[in-house]
Amino acid sequence: MLHGRDLLGEGRIAAAGIVPRQSAFCRANEVASEVAFKRRAKAQRRISYHAHIGLNDWPATENALQHVHASLADHGFTLERYGLCLSRAMGMPPNAREGFPKETGPMVTDIEWVRLGEAAPVQPHMGDNMIGAPNGFANTLAALTAGATTIGNLSQYFTYEWPGFSDVQLTEATLRALGAMSALRDRGALMHSNLDDGVAMQLPHYGAYVGWGALELYVAETLCGARLTHAFGGLVHQPLHRAVLALSLDNIRGGDSVGSMVYGNTVDMIRDNIEHNRAVLATSALVDIATQLHRPTGHAIALTPLTEAERIPSAEEIVEVHLLGREIEREARRSGDLFNWDRLDALAADVATYAIEYRDRALRLFADDGIDLRDPAALLLALRRVGPAKLFDRVNLAAPAQVAELETWKSGLMSGFVERVSRSLPRLDGRRVVLAVLEVHDVVRDALARALPRSGCEVIILPADSTPESIARAASDEDADAVIMGVYNGAALTIAQRLRTALALEQWDGIVVFGGLLNEDEGGELPVDATERIEALGIKTVVEIEELGALLV
């Protein structure tokens, strides 16, 4: 692998000739870049809003964006930014996409890239399947050229697996993209990292979570010269934790944040319970808006559609929650004195102090291991390979009680999930199970990996870059009794069909169980439920984790 400075240099050279297109949003707001707009919004204590819009192709996504923009304008409101959720296949180089399932989100052609910033006066944000993916460098150059200057997602570099690509290749692509972002920093290029998508959420408390964010800052800014912003929120369900994270992440930047967005709470959303979901939305939005009014950081408010737990939302459902969000802002503006900001600021300061010490200890450990701390390639690769649990144990930094009590969602959920699963499982002595999730939605997988052995079951865990074919081979080679798969991103039927074909070729006829969001992208605006067709293939499906045990007997 080349030294990081050489990889950064390649990215800077490639970006040198790019003059980012001024987007329709920047023209409408008379600013040179989104960063300039965010700085102005911070000074004005203006709340801005973000919506994730990524339907099955770009024309449908463009129509949805225009509908949302026009509908909000009819009510006197604006949408400042939208996140384009690309299909995961876009993260693969074009010559490696054959056979890669089309998942939720559009594939964007060369001609369509230009439309990202011109479809409506709403600033595009590029998150998933960009930086940290094999095709991340090419995608980053295309997005910068199109005027989409806030680009992510660095955290996904540490967690996403890509079939056929080594971690060295991912590191090289990521650093070339970082070089391009650093070259255009003065023109508003802002690299985004959603900490919930990476390894930070796997740490036991939010002090270490913010400490991981400080490590990312060191790599991206100190070593690479790019500007980094952290997002969070989708997996942060406690209102107190949301406020403390916003403040502490600003603290580790010295109060100079130019944020991307704060995601709404998604983990408390429940299928087919709109009233409950409305309450979840209102609570997280009230806290997020009040925190922005108390200390503006430039983060837009991303409001979670009420159907988040079921499928990709429609344009009408996005409009619905944004109208509700504007009413919540009215309430937040007259409710700020309900929050104990002195306590929250003090707690955030304690978190940031711990996080900086966590970063410094981690860097000293890497130096002791012989890692060149001046080489971003070596450090990125070391961070990716060490894993959060091992690093936390090696850092061995006790947190003050008030910080240690801030348990991360995944840490708390994991113990609860393990107990739920364990109580529901019969004895499975002698059974062998292959367990796989083909991307980063790994909470249930990890809980099952702990709970199933308690019932006497032997578990073979496959990596996230597995394919249906490699899963079938593992089931046959391991003489497994069952395969359990989690599927979430709009290709459930395609994966089920490929797995069935591969299992038949292996002459394996054990139990197959699918769980997750069993949707399929079939070319319409939204994915459709594929549960019945998956079951028709002889695959069992579960909605609640407690259903699993009976299927494995």
Q: How far is CA 535 from the centre of its chain?
A: 29
DSSP readout, 107-131? ---HHHHGGGGTSSSSEEEE-TTST
pTM here is 0.83
**So what's the pLDDT on residue 439?**
60
* Whole-number Cα distances in Å, 398 to 120, 302, 359, 404: 49, 34, 13, 8
Residue with tokens 């693969």: 92
Nearest Cα to Cα of residue 5 among 379, 322, 485, 369: 379
What CA–CA distance (Å, rounded) separates 495 from 482?
Answer: 16
**So what's the pLDDT on residue 523?**
65
The answer, yes or no, to whether the previous bond of 277 is cis (omega within 30 of 0) is: no
Which distant-in-sequence residues (6+ apart) come within 8 Å of 360 by Cβ? none
Nearest Cα to Cα of residue 209 among 167, 244, 256: 244
* Whole-number Cα distances in Å, 131 to 127, 206, 220, 374, 536: 8, 24, 12, 21, 38
Strand duo 528-529 + 49-52: pairing: unpaired
**What is the 8-class DSSP label of residue 464?**
T
What CA–CA distance (Å, rounded) separates 70 from 64?
Answer: 10
What CA–CA distance (Å, rounded) separates 545 from 444?
Answer: 8
Q: Is 153 exposed, middle or buried (0-12, 13-18, 19+ CB in 10 A)?
A: buried
DSSP three-state, residue 27: helix
DSSP three-state, residue 232: strand
Q: How far is CA 132 from the centre of its chain?
A: 12
Q: Contact, 173 vs 157, CB < 8 A? A: no
Q: How far is CA 250 from the centre of its chain?
A: 20
Q: What are phi and psi of 292, to 5 degrees?
A: -65, -35
Please report which residue ranges of 184-273 form alpha helices under DSSP H. Answer: 206-217, 239-251
* Whole-number Cα distances in Å, 553 to 61, 137, 315, 447, 504: 44, 47, 43, 19, 22
**So what's the pLDDT on residue 211?**
98
- Domains along the sequence of the chain with CATH: 4-181+274-341 (no CATH), 410-552 (3.40.50.280)
**So what's the pLDDT on residue 405?**
94
**So what's the pLDDT on residue 125?**
96
**So what's the pLDDT on residue 438?**
67
Q: Contact, 88 vs 467, CB < 8 A? A: no
**So what's the pLDDT on residue 543?**
77
What CA–CA distance (Å, rounded) separates 324 from 319?
Answer: 9
Which distant-in-sequence residues (6+ apart) come within 8 Å of 241 by Cβ? 206, 406
Tell me the HSE value of 359 on the side-chain side, using a 13 A CA sphere.
18
**So what's the pLDDT on residue 413?**
66
**So what's the pLDDT on residue 547?**
78
What CA–CA distance (Å, rounded) separates 142 from 136?
Answer: 10
From the CB of residue 164, how many other CB atoms can be counted at a distance below 10 Å? 12
**So what's the pLDDT on residue 300?**
97
From the CB of residue 255, how many other CB atoms can be counted at a distance below 10 Å? 10
Q: Contact, 437 vs 464, CB < 8 A? A: yes
Q: What is the dihedral of CA 413, 380, 262, 265, to 10 degrees?
A: -20
| Two tokens, residue 476 | 């046959």
The identity of residue 90, as a single letter, is M
Going from the first residue of the chain to its last (553 residues), give the mean pLDDT of each consecutive group of 10, the final group possibly shorter.
Answer: 90 91 95 96 96 88 95 97 90 86 80 93 94 95 94 92 90 97 95 92 94 97 97 94 98 95 90 90 96 96 86 88 96 90 97 98 97 96 92 95 92 66 77 77 71 83 81 88 81 86 88 83 72 88 77 76
Q: What are phi and psi of 238, to 5 degrees?
A: -85, 125
**So what's the pLDDT on residue 233?**
95
